Amino acid sequence: MSNWETIIGLEIHAQLNTDSKIFCGCATRFGDEPNANTCPVCLGLPGALPVLNRRAIELGARAALSLGLHINPTSIFARKNYFYPDLPKGYQISQYDQPFSANGELEIMTAERDEAGHPLEWRPKKIRITRLHLEEDAGKNVHEGLPNVDRYSYIDLNRAGVPLAEIVTEPDFRSSWEAYDYVNHVRRSLQWVGASEADMEKGNLRCEANVSVRRVGDEKLGTKVELKNLNSVRFMQRAIEFEVARHIKTLESGGTLRQETRLWDDKATETRVMRSKEEAHDYRYFPEPDLAPLVVSDEFIQNVQSEMPELPEARRKRFMDQFALSFADASQLVSDRTLADYYESAAESSGNPRGAANWIRSEVLRELELRSVSADQSPVTASELASLIRLIDEGKISGKQAKDVLVEMFKSGKTAQAIVEEQGLVQLSDSGEIDALIDEVIAANPDQVANYRSGKEALIGFFVGQVIKASKGKANPKVVNERLRVKLLA
Ligand SMILES: [Zn+2]
């Protein structure tokens, strides 16, 4: 397989997070009664005129800026003509030769994965983004869950006219994992700046992959296949892997590939043909006569920029500089914006950024995952976590006690201080009491004492563990360590 090179380009459709549609005032709410959110404009009735939603432009600009794209001062809406039952006008309003935004270069972090799916080495990779353009979504044909679906198809136009940003890349990906890491990067960026919910399960982020292979050293691109119906990032990655293997197998056995659109079937874990290129559309684009050219001023872009939060990559770098975090730690903490805010607040109010990172990455994330909530919905706020960290740092409770206290904080919603007082938790730091425990441990383990005294210093860990166990987890490990070294050599 190493004689072959994989070439992938991606198209993402992201629903912009507006309350109303792009060319009319109808709501964009998900899950409403079919056709409840429609009007003459999005039903495509004759004579109805589109009016551009300013908020869609602002969010489109946020999306473009978050991906490092250049916004064109003038862009043109165009009609993309085709017939389909969920498209009552007979055309979709999109953009064609003068898109909203173009010519971007995005740096992502990517890694190949081992058999178990664990990342190998993370490395930066530049992806060229050809364009980001604005368009309206089509409606939806419904073939399930309604009366007589064996005889009828139903049309729901609630989604018709919902604003989308279509983001198209150059064929710059060389593996399915690069594509996977890119889509996750884009999803996070769009969520981070509030441009889109970017939730693939709700269908407000959809992606398509163009996949081909060629022999290493060949200039010419191989026959490409378009993959659709990729309902999660993981499905997309699997579908690409399947296609690459299929292409190579076909070509190595002397077969030929057809240019076609294929769908991923996750149950069967394979792709199957949806349509061949012979049925491809000619969309006969022309400028939309009912909309003026979209002119975007520098001032508008500066305003959008000034309202945007610090972007994830910048924040990761700042966390590494300001809080001395590793790349891996900082990357995890900026994996979503609410988590990054939570961390920063806990780091500052505890005065222990390293400790805050450790607690969040292990205990707090586990508790949040158990409850399926994000950091901003955490029952334990960042400042309450910071209070807990201070109790440890001041030597009032041990790290082991703190783990139990945190679990209790999540369960009961009480503060760390209240739980510590209620349960009478105190860390044992009194050297007299610790000495008494050490004496017991020394008396009970004469062989290990002899070994330690003859030079096996690594045994100190064993003794610390025994003393802490004897104290039922209350003994201050620092004091135990100091006193043990004195008493073992006495
Ligand atoms: Zn409408």
366 alpha carbon – ligand 1 mean position (Å): 43
303 alpha carbon – ligand 1 mean position (Å): 28
Which pLDDT score is estimated for 278?
Answer: 55
42 alpha carbon – ligand 1 mean position (Å): 4
95 alpha carbon – ligand 1 mean position (Å): 20
48 alpha carbon – ligand 1 mean position (Å): 10
290 alpha carbon – ligand 1 mean position (Å): 16
pTM for this one?
0.83
96 alpha carbon – ligand 1 mean position (Å): 23
230 alpha carbon – ligand 1 mean position (Å): 28
CB 162 within 8 A of CB 23: no
291 alpha carbon – ligand 1 mean position (Å): 16
Cβ neighbours of residue 412 closer than 8 Å, sequence gap 6 or more = 419
Q: b/e per residue, 228-264, with b = 16+ CB within 10 A?
A: bbbeebebbbbbbbbbbebbbeebeeeeebeebbbbb
19 alpha carbon – ligand 1 mean position (Å): 12
21 alpha carbon – ligand 1 mean position (Å): 7
Which pLDDT score is estimated for 229?
Answer: 83
469 alpha carbon – ligand 1 mean position (Å): 68
22 alpha carbon – ligand 1 mean position (Å): 9
26 alpha carbon – ligand 1 mean position (Å): 4
Task: Using the structure block, give the residue that is written with the tokens 């939570």.
Answer: 342
**Alpha carbon distances (Å) from 127 to 153, 181, 185, 412:** 41, 11, 11, 47
139 alpha carbon – ligand 1 mean position (Å): 12
285 alpha carbon – ligand 1 mean position (Å): 23
75 alpha carbon – ligand 1 mean position (Å): 23
Q: What is the pLDDT of residues 246-260, one digit of tens each?
A: 999 999 999 999 999
Which pLDDT score is estimated for 30?
Answer: 85
93 alpha carbon – ligand 1 mean position (Å): 14
Which pLDDT score is estimated for 404?
Answer: 93
Q: What is the pLDDT of residues 126-182, one digit of tens each?
A: 999 999 999 999 999 998 888 998 999 999 999 999 999 999 999 999 999 999 999
- 109 forms beta bridges with 124
The residue ranges of the chain whose pLDDT is under 70 are 1-2, 277-281
- Cα(406)–Cα(161) distance, integer angstroms: 47
44 alpha carbon – ligand 1 mean position (Å): 9
CA angle centred on 109, ends 58 and 337, rounded to 5°: 45
23 alpha carbon – ligand 1 mean position (Å): 7
125 alpha carbon – ligand 1 mean position (Å): 41
162 alpha carbon – ligand 1 mean position (Å): 9
Which pLDDT score is estimated for 169?
Answer: 98
186 alpha carbon – ligand 1 mean position (Å): 29
H-state helical runs in 141-224: 176-192
